[in-house]
A and B are shown apart, each in its own frame.
Chain A
Amino acid sequence: MNTDTLISVRQLSRYYGELCAVNKVNFEIKRGQILGFLGPNGAGKSTIMQMLAGTLAPTEGEITIAGYDLIDFPLKAKAAIGYLPEQPPLYRDMLVNEFLTFCAHLHHIPRNQVKKAINYVIEQCNLAQVKNRLIRNLSKGYQQRIGIAQAIIHNPAVVILDEPTIGLDPIQVREIRNLIQMLGQEHSVILSTHILPEVQTVCNHVQIINHGQLILNDTVEGLLAHMHTTRLKVGFRHPPAIEKLQQLQSVSNVSPLETNYFLIEQSFEHSLAELIVEQSVIHGWGLFELTPERQTLEQIFVDLTKAESHDYSALEVV
């Protein structure tokens, strides 16, 4: 697969009055990437996506899509994009078929290929059973899929999905994730989410945004490396002194939680769990619970923002 750059964003900023929603963001997306925008609510994810889709003008900066500047050649740039906003833009009093036909015409699909395009997305998004039903009467999961169908009907180079799995039940979430992975084989996909596992399962690239700034732009493997510390939550019937736990090999920090519980942090990969079980048996600590704790997105943010401010202070000293 060729790896030409499909989207390049330079110094993108957006102000809502005084409020700076997006602050000097730069990034590039190449063909075949599934990029996850990760960030807490209100971080500026949707704003960036709206600007990429051309429904919001940037205050500053440039966006180039498939080689066309979004401001100088808006129509050509928009033709290369399929966009699903946070709320799927559906005409609720239309039939699914009718709506997709309208979208196909909107995207200038030649008349003799409209049928083919519709059949293709109906198959891809698994809409065959509902194609002659009113959109109003369909479940949220189906409506979301119609939203995705609408975004890919003209076979765009880039598909932009704003929180595609929000408000769906776990089964629907899995279906949509499978669909996105399938899309990633032919299109570039950008999706936003605030759910970390979603990025891990679906994406191959990740960007973390906080307060309108890009604080991490990496592959998913790179993100996982950021989660280097692992934590274990352990519970003992007969807890040992805290120092004893701290003396264990590779333990970096132990903090007592509620009675009989401890949170043990470890600095590098090592079979700490095994060691604790061993020690518990030898000393009769009465281990009854041992839960590995994943680092939450919140913690990664704290880590990343901390690291960044640390870097800045270091720069100032130099």
Chain B
Amino acid sequence: MWNIAMKELRQLFLSPLAWSILAVVQIILGLVFASTVDSFLQPHVQAELAQISPNGVSLTDFIVVDLLSLTAVIVLLVSPLLTMRLISEERYNKTLPLLLSSPIPITKIVLGKYLGLMIFFVIMLLMILLMPLSLLLGGNLDFGQITSATLGILLFISLFVAIGLYISTLTSHPTVAAISTFGALFVLWIINWVGNGTEEKSELFTYLSIIEHYDGFLKGVVNTEDIIYYLLFITLFLILSIQHLDAERY
């Protein structure tokens, strides 16, 4: 399993894709981070913030939350490009038989690939988190909230990768996998818009919406209900991937 995960990771870094994604993400978030810090320091912004709540809005709330909610948007755009490769590229290059004919159970093949890509995202996340952590040089941060927000984005990414992995098992064309994954993720994102404006909002759609389960973490609220939502869907899509790959032999 580790062997497959490490191979996945190494192949990612052998391709220019991983490097360009890391660079683009870092540049975009860096710009956003710099401008947020800048506006936080403006006197009139401070004055507005003081009106919102008597204690003012903390540095963590203003900057870290902003940065990580934008990270979620970027992950939505970037993750299909990375997950599309997982299985469908193996199939496209006819390398899948190598894995399937080796004495490794399919569960481990799927988990290995999942793990490999997750390690990549953890690296990306660490690089993003370095930016707010640099504020420690001149300010105070709420570590509780940062930890909670990090846990949130990590679960968020894990779910996106699991969904992308499953869709990647369905096709032998990476591009098709990427577009379908993007579609699925986007629907999951906006599904709570259904019924907006009408009197009653569907409880089911609100529950399904990934954003509803992400906001809490950003505010520093670690809710077991949210964690269960993520774990439930991650497990579901991993099991579906394993099942689908196994069923393909029939």
Q: Taking the complex as formed, is B3 at the interface, i.e. its CB lies under 8 A from any CB of chain A?
A: yes
Q: Are A106 and B99 in contact (CB under 8 A)?
A: yes
Interface centre among B3, B98, B99 (most CB of A within 10 A): B98
Select B94's contact among A89, A98, A102, A107, beta carbons within 8 Å: A89
- With contacts A76-B103, A78-B103, A108-B103 taken as known, whether A89 is within 8 angstroms of B97 at the C-beta atoms is yes
Q: Which of chain A's residues have a CB closer than 8 A to the CB of B93?
A: 89, 91-92
Q: Taking the complex as formed, is A215 at the interface, i.e. its CB lies under 8 A from any CB of chain B?
A: no
Give Cα A79 to B104, complex, Å: 9
Interface centre among B96, B97, B99, B101 (most CB of A within 10 A): B101
Select A55's contact among B4, B7, B249, beta carbons within 8 Å: B249
Q: Are A56 and B11 in contact (CB under 8 A)?
A: no
Q: Taking the complex as formed, is B195 at the interface, i.e. its CB lies under 8 A from any CB of chain A?
A: no
Q: Taking the complex as formed, is A57 at the interface, i.e. its CB lies under 8 A from any CB of chain B?
A: yes
Give Cα A38 to B99, complex, Å: 27
Q: Which of chain A's residues have a CB closer than 8 A to the CB of B4?
A: 106
Q: Taking the complex as formed, is B95 at the interface, i.e. its CB lies under 8 A from any CB of chain A?
A: yes
Q: Which residue of B lies closest to A160 (CB)?
A: B101
Give Cα A54 to B248, complex, Å: 12
Q: Which of chain B's residues have a CB closer than 8 A to the CB of A87?
A: 94
Q: Are B102 and A107 in contact (CB under 8 A)?
A: yes
Q: Which of chain B's residues have a CB closer than 8 A to the CB of A262?
A: none
Q: Taking the complex as formed, is A223 at the interface, i.e. its CB lies under 8 A from any CB of chain B?
A: no
Binary contact track A63-89/B, C-beta < 8 Å → 1, others 0:
000000000001110110101010101
Q: Which of chain B's residues have a CB closer than 8 A to the CB of A78?
A: 101-103
Give Cα A98 to B6, complex, Å: 12
Q: Taking the complex as formed, is B15 at the interface, i.e. its CB lies under 8 A from any CB of chain A?
A: yes
Q: Are A57 and B97 in contact (CB under 8 A)?
A: no
Q: Are B101 and A55 in contact (CB under 8 A)?
A: yes
Q: Are A53 and B97 in contact (CB under 8 A)?
A: yes
Q: Are B103 and A91 in contact (CB under 8 A)?
A: no
Select B95's contact among A56, A83, A91, beta carbons within 8 Å: A91
Q: Are B14 and A93 in contact (CB under 8 A)?
A: yes
Q: Which of chain A's residues have a CB closer than 8 A to the CB of B249?
A: 54-57
Q: Taking the complex as formed, is A33 at the interface, i.e. its CB lies under 8 A from any CB of chain B?
A: no
Q: Which of chain B's residues have a CB closer than 8 A to the CB of A85?
A: 94, 97
Q: Which residue of B lies closest to A102 (CB)?
A: B7
Within A225-271, the residues touching B (CB, 8 Å) are none
Interface centre among B11, B15, B94, B103 (most CB of A within 10 A): B103
Interface centre among A94, A98, A102, A108 (most CB of B within 10 A): A102
Q: Which of chain B's residues have a CB closer than 8 A to the CB of A92?
A: 93
Q: Which residue of A lies closest to B4 (CB)?
A: A106
Closest Cβ of chain B: how far from A33's Cβ, in Å?
21
Q: Taking the complex as formed, is B23 at the interface, i.e. its CB lies under 8 A from any CB of chain A?
A: no
Q: Which residue of B lies closest to A147 (CB)?
A: B98
Q: Which of chain A's residues have a CB closer than 8 A to the CB of B98?
A: 89, 103, 106, 150
Q: Which of chain B's residues have a CB closer than 8 A to the CB of A81?
A: 101
Give Cα A78 to B103, complex, Å: 5
Q: Are A89 and B96 in contact (CB under 8 A)?
A: yes
Within B1-45, the residues touching A (CB, 8 Å) are 3-4, 7, 10-11, 14-15
Q: Are A94 and B97 in contact (CB under 8 A)?
A: no
Q: Taking the complex as formed, is A90 at the interface, i.e. its CB lies under 8 A from any CB of chain B?
A: yes
Q: Are B3 and A55 in contact (CB under 8 A)?
A: no
Q: Taking the complex as formed, is A306 at the interface, i.e. its CB lies under 8 A from any CB of chain B?
A: no
Q: Which of chain A's residues have a CB closer than 8 A to the CB of B97?
A: 50, 53, 55, 83, 85, 89
Closest Cβ of chain B: how far from A75's Cβ, in Å?
5
Q: Are A93 and B99 in contact (CB under 8 A)?
A: no
Q: Which residue of B lies closest to A76 (CB)?
A: B103
Q: Are B102 and A93 in contact (CB under 8 A)?
A: no
Q: Which residue of A lies closest to B3 (CB)?
A: A105
Give Cα A130 to B98, complex, Å: 21
Q: Are A106 and B11 in contact (CB under 8 A)?
A: no
- With contacts A57-B250, A105-B3, A106-B3 taken as known, whether A91 is within 8 angstroms of B101 at the C-beta atoms is no
Q: Taking the complex as formed, is B50 at the interface, i.e. its CB lies under 8 A from any CB of chain A?
A: no
Within B84-98, the residues touching A (CB, 8 Å) are 93-98
Q: Taking the complex as formed, is B105 at the interface, i.e. its CB lies under 8 A from any CB of chain A?
A: yes
Q: Are B3 and A89 in contact (CB under 8 A)?
A: no
Q: Which of chain B's residues have a CB closer than 8 A to the CB of A90?
A: 95
Q: Taking the complex as formed, is B231 at the interface, i.e. its CB lies under 8 A from any CB of chain A?
A: no
Closest 4 pairs between A and B when the two form their complex, measured CB to CB: A89-B98, A105-B3, A79-B103, A57-B249
Spell out A's residues near B (CB within 8 Å). Answer: 50, 53-57, 74-76, 78-79, 81, 83, 85, 87, 89-94, 98, 102-103, 105-108, 150
- 24 contacting pairs across A/B (C-beta < 8 A): A55-B96, A55-B97, A55-B101, A56-B249, A74-B103, A75-B105, A76-B103, A78-B101, A78-B102, A79-B103, A81-B101, A83-B101, A85-B94, A89-B93, A89-B98, A91-B95, A93-B14, A102-B3, A102-B7, A103-B98, A106-B4, A106-B104, A108-B103, A150-B98
Spell out B's residues near A (CB within 8 Å). Answer: 3-4, 7, 10-11, 14-15, 93-105, 249-250
